Structure 1
Amino acid sequence: MTTSVEKDQPGKGRLAHAASDHPPVAPAKVGVVLANLGTPDATDYWSMRRYLGEFLSDKRVVDYADWKWQPLLQLVILSKRPFSSGKAYKSIWNMENNESPLLTITRAQTEKVTTALHELYGDNVVVDFCMRYGNPSTDSVIRRLQAQGCEKIVFFPLYPQYGSPTTATANDQAFRTLMKLKWQPSIRTVPAYFEHPEYLTALANSVREVYDDTASRPEKLVASYHGVPQRYLMEGDPYHCHCQKTTRLLKERLGMADEEIVTAFQSKFGPEKWVGPATVDYVAELARQGKKHIAVISPAFASDCVETLEEIQEEIRDSFLEAGGETFTYIPCLNDRDDHIAALTAIIRNELGGWL
């Protein structure tokens, strides 16, 4: 996997036997990109509007015809929603680093994965991260890796369950960059990994640790996934099925009875019927049924973000408590836990097969 070069400038050189005016070429390496959803650059109106405009204009996210959707988006939604979304982000913002928690956590994951892969492969692997919406952009990161000599790239969308509005759009963006490059790197996209043994181990460990640390055992574990319109399931998107199977596999790992764990969906947007039950309504119903202590986990999110830190820990928590519940326990995402990093590293090693 080596390219023969002669030293010319730091990190680069002239190809052996090439003409003296040939552009410098970096030694061949393999790149790994951890791809997450995205984040606004700040919580002010215009930063939120740019971020939401990019996100809600993605046909994978909202697939209505432009003539129907864009006037509503530009004239109504983006006039109001940046204020409410900005308030939500401000309540969870990492003030020390002046960035969203998603960015902080994804960077920490990348640093730990880098350390793990360098112990295995040395400098032959370069690890970076990108965001589908916002910064650092997918385009800039793939170009940066190519400039460092990455002729092959493992592109890893950090979504355990495959979904068209998540995994597919992340891959789409990577391919759009390839379409513009004179010299395309070879690229492998990482498939859904919700069945991977080490992912399930980390997920189960996170539940056990919280349960062991609570004064009373939660009466119900709610596995809350980001929702999608019911139509997506009917059109062949496997996301809903992947979520249901994730809950079942987690239940088996934990040795729970069927009635101890349930699948629910959050973050409904728009007038269409979405897959359910809706987490915010379901937890209130649990309280009305007499459940006093529940726990909520988010297996679809690799990193804590506004949907978990604000929506679950504020809106969904309030729904449960206001309906008569007494104790609401949130189980954090896997973030940069060591067992999660071990799972991500194992998945990447598998995808590097034949390359290193």
Structure 2
Amino acid sequence: MRGKRAQGGGRARRKEQVKKAFILVNTGSPAELSAAACKTFLREFLSDPDVVPAPFFVRYPLARVIASKRAEAYLANLKKISRGGVPRLVEACAGLARKIAAMTGTETFAAHRYGAFPVAEAIRAARDSGARDFRFLPMFPQSASSTTFSVKREVFAHRREGEVFRFRENYFDDGAYISALAALFGRFGDRSLPTLASFHSVPVSQDGKTGYSAQCRKTAGLLASAAELADVSVVWQSQMGGPLKWLGPSASAEIGRLSASGVDGVNVVCPGFACDCTETLVEIAEGLKGEFLSRGGRVFNYVPCLNDSPEHAAALAGIFERMK
């Protein structure tokens, strides 16, 4: 029939393409290098119920007291590892975001759970750019309730109707991540020496919620295989003490054991930290190294975190692209 077009398949509709945005999320850093900003940051961090699982009337006053006591020391450590007034973690996260954006052609944001550049701000910026498909990657390869779950809770508090939020909880066994770790070890480590894989400790009572320690051990095993390491031990750092039992043995205790047995050289890698920070550069590369050398050790090889290396950016870009 003239004047009418065929119906039911003669005309294909072009599917509207939804703009996506990638958002990296790390723990964060104070808004500036000052005692007041460090105090605010620590209070915010310790007030999080996923970090300190206690009633508000206990948690909040405790956070205020600890933040007041530790702010000056935390500031001193931050200054040690900052470049041009920018903490190393902030610098590395921003660098990763730029590199991932260049690799994928997708706008990428670096957000922090606490302190400067909060999650809400990154979501708002992505939303203002027209994104409706948001992909979030917490920069914690192994998922713990005090890190990944806290980020997830914050992220989904900002979702609006009609928006797609995709969230990756962990990537402890991702092939590109493991390969990048192994390549970095090849540059800074010595395969003839024993290796300690140091992970951030958590209370034993929280471990079962996510299988965190099992993920850490799996990462260490995969790294050992990829880097061809015969002697890798999992140790735990940053135990906060108190009445709770924390995952162990501690990195310090294992260093003591190795020294007592006559070992004078060791590699230490921190595969649970995506970017170097006070826990790796001050606690491990400075503090643990000093402890080992004072006990008679001669060689302490600290293997840096992946930071904003091209290999790290490529691994994370691949994870973002594969998110469903």
Secondary structure of 1:232 counterpart: helix
Whether the aligned pair in 2 keeps the contact of 1:201 and 1:253 (CA below 8 Å) is: yes
* 2:157 aligned with 1:176: yes
Q: 2:79 aligns with which of 90, 96, 108?
A: 90
Whether the aligned pair in 1 keeps the contact of 2:42 and 2:63 (CA below 8 Å) is: no
Give the Cα–Cα distance (whole angstroms) in 1 for the partners of residues 169 and 61 of structure 2.
35
The aligned residue for residue 313 of structure 1 is: 285
Pairs within 5 Å for 1:210-225:
210-211=188-189, 219-225=193-199
The aligned residue for residue 66 of structure 1 is: 56
Moved more, 105-114 or 166-175: 166-175
Relative to the length of structure 2, the TM-score reads 0.91
Once the 2 structures are TM-superposed, how far is the Cα of residue 28 of structure 1 from its aligned partner?
Answer: 4.5
Give the Cα–Cα distance (whole angstroms) in 2 for the partners of residues 87 and 218 of structure 1.
36
Give the letter aligned to residue 310 of structure 1. V
Relative to the length of structure 1, the TM-score reads 0.83
* 2:147 aligned with 1:206: no
* 2:263 aligned with 1:254: no
Give the Cα–Cα distance (whole angstroms) in 1 for the partners of residues 151 and 194 of structure 2.
33
Pairs within 5 Å for 1:93-242:
93-94=82-83, 96=84, 98-118=85-105, 125-178=106-159, 181=160, 183-211=161-189, 219-233=193-207, 235-242=208-215
Give the letter aligned to residue 221 of structure 1. T
Whether the aligned pair in 2 keeps the contact of 1:218 and 1:295 (CA below 8 Å) is: no
Give the Cα–Cα distance (whole angstroms) in 1 for the partners of residues 282 and 220 of structure 2.
23
Give the letter aligned to residue 290 of structure 1. G
Whether the aligned pair in 2 keeps the contact of 1:224 and 1:263 (CA below 8 Å) is: yes
Give the Cα–Cα distance (whole angstroms) in 2 for the partners of residues 324 and 30 of structure 1.
54
Once the 2 structures are TM-superposed, how far is the Cα of residue 31 of structure 1 from its aligned partner?
Answer: 0.9
The aligned length equals 310
The aligned residue for residue 33 of structure 1 is: 23
Q: CA RMSD in A?
A: 1.7
- Are residues 184 and 55 of structure 1, via their aligned partners in 2, closer, same or farther at CA, if it must alter by over 3 Å? farther
Secondary structure of 1:139 counterpart: helix
Whether the aligned pair in 2 keeps the contact of 1:41 and 1:99 (CA below 8 Å) is: no
Deviation per residue, 1:205-255 (Å, 9 max, x gap): 1111223xx6xx55211100011011112x432111100111111111122
Once the 2 structures are TM-superposed, how far is the Cα of residue 81 of structure 1 from its aligned partner?
Answer: 0.8
Give the Cα–Cα distance (whole angstroms) in 1 for the partners of residues 274 and 204 of structure 2.
23
Once the 2 structures are TM-superposed, how far is the Cα of residue 285 of structure 1 from its aligned partner?
Answer: 2.1
* 2:256 aligned with 1:284: yes
Deviation per residue, 1:112-133 (Å, 9 max, x gap): 1000001xxxxxx321110000
Give the letter aligned to residue 82 of structure 1. A
Whether the aligned pair in 2 keeps the contact of 1:287 and 1:321 (CA below 8 Å) is: no
User: Which structure 2 residue ranges, 5 or more long, are not aligned?
Assistant: 1-13
Identity across matched positions, percent: 31
The aligned residue for residue 10 of structure 2 is: none
Whether the aligned pair in 2 keeps the contact of 1:288 and 1:324 (CA below 8 Å) is: no
Whether the aligned pair in 1 keeps the contact of 2:46 and 2:59 (CA below 8 Å) is: no
- Are residues 2 and 52 of structure 1, via their aligned partners in 2, closer, same or farther at CA, if it must alter by over 3 Å? farther
Once the 2 structures are TM-superposed, how far is the Cα of residue 304 of structure 1 from its aligned partner?
Answer: 0.7
Once the 2 structures are TM-superposed, how far is the Cα of residue 78 of structure 1 from its aligned partner?
Answer: 2.2
Give the letter aligned to residue 252 of structure 1. S
